[in-house]
Structure formats: structure tokens, C-alpha cells
A and B are shown apart, each in its own frame.
Chain A
């Protein structure tokens, strides 16, 4: 990439990223949230984050990869079970990552 292209890319990404995050804060004293919207917004984190990671976990090269030899699926299942059971973020993350890497390298051998 040329310097001009790099600069424009980063500038453009900054404008849309910051714009999306800031626009409501800028008008925060004037924005009135209807109660139903407040209620619906509680579901945003679960919904968005699940939609980001599900294809990463369950798909490989645009196809479903539902196999017990899929390290992504095993690591995610382990993290999920620990997360629901113990509710401890650090433990959830560490167990998930450990299961992922152990199975990934065990199956590669």
C-alpha cells in the first residue's frame, strides 16, 4: 500500500469507528430512550458476541464443521461449560484456550 492509501484507510476507519461510538454520547443529554428500547438493549452483548464467534467455532472454509476433532468446537464447549458452571471469567478463558491448544496440537500429530 502507498503512504496515501494507508493514511486514507486509517483515517476512514477512525472516522466510522469513532463516529459510531461517539454520536450518541455527543447528544446524550438530549437523547431520550424509550423503555422498550432499554429492555431490548440488554440483549445486545450476548447477541452480537455470539453472532461473531459462532461461525468461527462451527465453520471451516464456508462449511459446517461439526466434528469432535474440531479444536475450535472443543475449546469453545469447554469454555462454555466452565463459564455457565463456575461464572469465573479468567477460569473460563484459560480452560478454553488450554483445551483448544492441546487438542489442536494433539490432532495435528
Chain B
């Protein structure tokens, strides 16, 4: 099968999340212009940094006149979850040439990980084809994110108040669309409930630390529940 075939597969698997990302990109562009930032700043951030939620956090900090190192270190913390995605993907990239790994690293966003990881898991792609599907998904997101940023900057200047429409809800709906297919066993439910509850309880912590701590709590609870259920099964069922 051709490279294009697999790239198209990666794109198709990403379509729902691309649609969910469109309002989010528009919002980013329009927020940047409502804060009086140069259009080039917003465009450069989307094309060079390419990090959805971290870009929003950075805008908020810029509006508060935060120092550059605060912006950069907060970006680091918000994006730390990608280290965990990368850790999970290591087994699928270790045989690839370095330039491909560089592009894959640059494009490792929530949505591409969410679209591609299940394809590897289900055997739809493998060591030889997975990175092609991955690059297709990345390319589709990159084009969407940058196009909507530009459109958002332009429309933000034409339609004042657009940033108050609640377009960021699209991100919430997209993330729910990523989460729900996982909820097939008890450990995943417990993981979700504990991460959600801790994120509310810890929302007061500075610099988005609550996010990081809650993520670790959720993973620990899921992992622990998984081990307990495996043990329970081993004892209860004679197989």
C-alpha cells in the first residue's frame, strides 16, 4: 500500500477532532487580536509552537503582563503530558530515522496521539505504516490550526466580542470524545473520576500545578485498580 494511502487513513481518523479544533483555533486568533497582540505574533505561535491549550494559557499570562520565564515554565508544565504520550509511543518510533522522529515529535499533540494510538493498538497500522498515518494526521491538524488562527485573527478584528462566545467549549467536547471510548472497564472509570475530582480540589494551586498533580493521581488510581481487578480475577475464576 502506498504512503498516501496511510496518510489519508491518519487524516480520516482525525476528522472528528479536526472539526472540534476549528472553533478553538478561531478563538485563539480572535483572543490574540482582542488582547491587542500583533497578528504575526499569533500566527508565529501557532506555526512554531503548535500547542493548543498551552497557547491559550500563554495568552492569559501575557494579558497579565507575566514575565517571559513564567510564560515559558508554565508552557513546560502544561505540555508535560506530552512526555507521557511520547513514552507510550517510544516502541513505535525507535526504528525510524531521526528526521522522521523530529517531525513526529513536533506534531505530538493530544489529538494525533488520540487518533493514532488506537490504530496501533488495533493492528490497523504497524511499524512500517504507522508513521505515515501519523504524519497524515499531523499535517491535517497543522494546516487546520494555522488556517483557523489566521481566520480568527482576521475575524477577531472584524467581529468584536467573538472571544466571549464560548468557543472554547469545542475543546471540552473534543476531549470528552477522546475520553469516552476508553471507558470500557472499571479502572478507566476510576481513573477519570479521581483525576476529575482532584483537578477541582486542587484548582487553587499556582501555575497549573493542580493539573499535573491530578493527572498523576488519576494514572496512579487507574493503575492500582487495574492490578487489583487482575488479582481478583485470578483468585475468583478458575481458568
Contact = CB atoms under 8 A, between A and B. Distances in A.
Interface stretch (B69-77, B140-148, B150-158): B69-77
Given A1-B62, A45-B114, A52 B175 contact: yes
Interface residues of B, number: 95
A109 interface: no
A62 to B, nearest CB: 7
Contact of A17 (B17, B51, B169): B51
A13 B45 CA distance: 8
A101 to B, nearest CB: 7
B113 A45 contact: yes
B84 A41 contact: yes
B176 A13 contact: no
Interface in B35-94: 37-38, 41, 44-45, 48-51, 53-54, 58, 62, 68-69, 71-73, 75-76, 79-91, 93-94
Contacts of A72: 169, 172
A99 B229 CA distance: 36
Contact of A59 (B96, B168, B203): B203
B182 A9 contact: no
A26 B88 CA distance: 14
B53 to A, nearest CB: 6
A23 B215 CA distance: 20
A47 B183 CA distance: 12
A43 B219 CA distance: 5
A25 B192 contact: no
Contact of A43 (B71, B89, B218): B218
A50 B196 contact: yes
Which secondary structure dominates chain A's binding surface?
Answer: helix
B170 interface: yes
Given A12-B71, A79-B177, A33 B91 contact: yes
Given A14-B49, A16-B75, A39 B80 contact: no
B17 A13 contact: no
B125 interface: no
Contact of B71 (A13, A44, A79, A92): A13
Interface stretch (B2-10, B103-111, B231-239): B103-111
B87 A41 contact: yes
A32 to B, nearest CB: 9
Interface of A: 1, 5-6, 8-10, 12-18, 20-26, 28-29, 31, 33, 36-59, 62, 64, 71-72, 75-76, 79-80, 83-84, 87, 89-90, 92-94, 96-97, 100-101, 104
